[in-house]
Amino acid sequence: MPELPEVETIVRQLNREIKNKTITDFSCSAPKMAVTHKLADFQRQIKGKKILNVKRRGKIILLELSGGLVLAIHLRLTGQLFVRKSTHPQDPFNRAIFQLGKNLELRFNDLRLFGQMWLYPKTQIENNFDKIQKLGPEPFDKTFILQNFKNILQHNRTKIKALLLDQSKISGLGNIYSDEVLFYAVIHPNTPANKISDEKIRKLYIGIKKILRDAIRAQGTSVDTYRDIRGEKGQYAVKLKIYRRTGKPCFRCGTKIARVKIGGRSAHFCPKCQKRIMNYE
């Protein structure tokens, strides 16, 4: 699933490519993707609307439209957004097309059909849309200061890997970057969040911001289906230190990288560098 750097990359590109364009038509071959409306109503409401701005909240893409509407898009596991010329061949697994004038299209591709779209009045998006209501602080928000991060960890006995994946605690992190920031901070993924020392919390806090910024600069990580709006891969995969490197030597000490399941998700770690000690961190 695309995480914060991938979604942020898409948002920035969409602002450059389709901001101020008008949706002249809309078609969708997977009606269940339009969650809040019947497909005909969805089509009727967005047709003729101008795209005023593109934003992000967590992993959700928000297209602010004229008429006081917001189109929210969640790519989920295999969703992709491509901006194409109308003459470009159809992409595999194309499920929805937003026609933008005569020659341009925004295409929503999705192999697994888990992606979703919602349409809300702008005045209700923050208070009535539960997917946003439940989100925790953004890693780059001004309110996400070290002390607030400490409070989140010190009041939770959850394993730190699971906590970092919990979008209600911190929004935007997924499997890739939670592994990377834990390796950066030298913390075992099974460590209870409330047992991590202040020193390690500070390093983890710094690592979250640093690694996410680096990944955004690299246009995200393509290890599965993620592509940017031009269909190009993100370049951060070559910089990954730990994620999906099971059995390969640790870049720090040479020990073979291990993998463990935590809450149904895989966590990759170095058994030596991130050694789990009885007194925790």
- What Å distances lie between residue 166 and 50, 124, 140, 156, 205, CA to CA? 34, 24, 17, 12, 16
278 has pLDDT over 50: no
Specify the residue for token string 């047709």. 47
pTM: 0.96
For 84-138, the pLDDT digits (tens) are 999 999 998 999 999 999 999 999 999 999 999 999 999 999 889 999 999 999 9
State the first-to-last Cα distance of the chain, in angstroms, to the nearest integer: 30
Q: Give the number of domains in the chain.
A: 2
Percent of the chain with pLDDT over 90: 94
276 has pLDDT over 90: no
Across 155-170, average pLDDT: 97
**Residue 141 lies inside a defined structural domain of this protein:** no
Across 173-199, average pLDDT: 97
255 has pLDDT over 90: yes
Higher-confidence position of 1 and 240: 240
Domain check: are 157 and 118 in the same one?
no
- What Å distances lie between residue 176 and 75, 170, 216, 267, CA to CA? 16, 15, 13, 9
186 has pLDDT over 90: yes
- What Å distances lie between residue 33 and 14, 77, 157, 196, CA to CA? 20, 13, 36, 41
Q: Which of 93, 125, 157 is the last residue of a domain?
A: 125
Domain check: are 175 and 262 in the same one?
yes
Neighbour-count burial of 212, counting CB atoms closer than 10 A to its CB (0-12 exposed, 13-18 middle, 19+ buried): buried
Domain check: are 121 and 150 in the same one?
no
**Residue 280 lies inside a defined structural domain of this protein:** no
Active site residues: 2-3, 59, 265
For residues 184 and 269, the answer to whether their CB atoms sit within 8 Å is no
Domain of residue 101 covers 4-125
Higher-confidence position of 126 and 258: 258
Give pLDDT, residue 277: 56
Per the document, the length of the chain is 281
For 48-60, the pLDDT digits (tens) are 999 999 999 999 9
Write down the mean pLDDT value for the chain.
Answer: 96
